[in-house]
Structures are given as C-alpha cells and as structure tokens.
Amino acid sequence: MHSNEMYQELVIFLEACESGSIFKNIELDKVNAWALTATNSTSPSYGTYCYPHDLINGENLYACLGDLFSVTWMEYLENNKKALSSMSLKQFYEIIKDRVSSKSQVQHFGSQDIEN
C-alpha cells in the first residue's frame, strides 16, 4: 500500500495475544505508519464482559463478550468525542495503556510524526 501511494498516514490498532510481536522488527516510520497493540510480544490479551457480566436478554452466556483492549479504546472514543479533536495518538496511547495496565501491556510502534 505504501509503495502504491494508497495512503498518506496509516494507523493500525491490533487486537491479539502477543500482538506486539508483529511490529517488533518492522520500521513503521519508514512507511509513515503507526500502530497500537493490545499487548507486548509475549503476553496474552484478556477478555472483558465475562461471567457474570455476560448477560444477554437476562441470560449468562458463560463467555467473554469483548476484549479488554478493544472495548477500552472503543468505549473511550464513544465517551470522549469532543476531547479527541485535540488529542494526539501518543496521549490516546497513554490513556488506553493506563486503563488496561492491570492486565495487558499496551504497546505503540512507528512514526513519531503521526503519534504527535
């Protein structure tokens, strides 16, 4: 995509166990990209809205309905729409990292120009 000039800047959010491993040896800044991952290269990513908080129509599914990293950033975006227009990706990373730090080690990679 970069060599075909299909974007000016690329931002990637990656949700998976050990998701930090995918960008560990990739120089995203050279392709004008920035990534936020659920965790580092060796740790799992954790579920949320798990039993007993997994009610659908009054019944427990006995499953996790979301992932902590993804749910955290999506809920933050939904609840802070006005603040986002002046927030950098670095600030956003710090907020999300702090909110999931008890479980996952959120990581960021790539272009500092995009991040700032």
The pLDDT of residue 23: 93
In the chain, domain spans: 10-115
CATH number of the 10-115 domain: 3.40.50.1460
Residue 105's SS3 state is: coil
- Counting residues of the chain whose pLDDT is more than 70, the rounded percentage is 100
pLDDT tens figures, 26-75: 999 999 999 999 999 999 999 999 999 999 999 999 999 999 999 999 99
